[in-house]
A and B are shown apart, each in its own frame.
Chain A
Amino acid sequence: MTYQVEVRNLSVSYDGENVLSTINFNVDGGKLIGIIGPNGAGKSTLMKAILELIHRDHGEVLVDGKPMKDVRKKVAYVPQRAAIDWDFPITVLKTVLLGTYPQVGIFRRPGKSEKRWALECLQKVGMDQFANRQIGELSGGQQQRVFLARALAQKANIFFLDEPFVGIDVTSEALIIGILKELRDGGDSVFVVHHDLSKVEDYFDELLLLNKELIAFGPVARVMQSEYLRTAYHSQYGVWDALGVVR
């Protein structure tokens, strides 16, 4: 059978040093998946390697049985907030409109229907009243919501979010996770790089525990076991244990 996302023998290295080795997993649609692991575990790297944003040494990624380059329009990516130039001369609405570019294609400009759609996506994240603001004038949580709106504007089936909850307010976090759950309920796959283990039970269906290799993958309760976490986190394990996160 074909899965919505199939990752086979994925390996990545920088300067001859392995960052990720032989990652294998399959994901069916309708799952909200947390990618967790200690700092430097290769969480963002895994996401970028799946999306072919960086060079991979081995392995392939299939989406609905097809290679990534044929299905790019089905995939939406939200980069880390730190990767964005917030002084760029662009408004909130224009930023969301970028999400329609893959569909609009080369040589064409987004028209009225695209603008209406972008505004609808902004409404969904509760940011429509900020449509004409410059993106740097927003708070961290608002910025993250705008970039989620851009991903929604892409009309994708598979979503990748890199650390969306870092440095944002509680309201925005709740709103974002609500939308991600809606997407999941609609049959989409949602991957989220995340580093705070305390909320994983509430947020995700499945976890991908990573430390340069795949330590465990499956339902949250099964992955959050002491032996897996000890393997992934080594010395940091005690902290999470003390916080009462481990089963």
Chain B
Amino acid sequence: METTLQNVFDLAVTVNGTRYEQAVEPRILLSDFLRHDLGLTGTHVGCEHGVCGACTVLLDGEPVRSCLMFAVQAHGREVTTVEGLGTIDHLHPIQEAFQEAHGLQCGFCTPGILTTVKVFLEQNPNPSEEEIREALSGNLCRCTGYQHIVDAVQLAAEKMRK
């Protein structure tokens, strides 16, 4: 990446397998870039200061809060949002599990939980309930009381092991 003195930065980033090139202001948060510039509104913006976890995306496969990164920092990197998990016709096993186990109510926190869970289950295919709760400690849900989310993650783990 080159040092730039102008207030616009030529950003090139791969999101869900598609390469995007766009001039952005350095102050644009990754979360706002995904939603406003790319129209990928699956990434939800809750608190915008790193507490709620709704905006979690994967940066080169690692879960990060997209409200605590500038879009320019994703230059040359690969981002996966919830849109990159599955489609309406072909849900990801995690999405199927959340539907079947009632792992969401209003759904606002769900995209951040799904992306977080994706990495977690890849690293830990057979987690205990305690490990699931630990993995989701950075994601707030105000509807469910978490029990159905934990159930959904367990079901997803089962589906993904098959």
To the question of whether A and B form a pair in one complex, the answer is no
Q: Could you tell me which A residues sit within 8 Å of B by CB distance? A: none
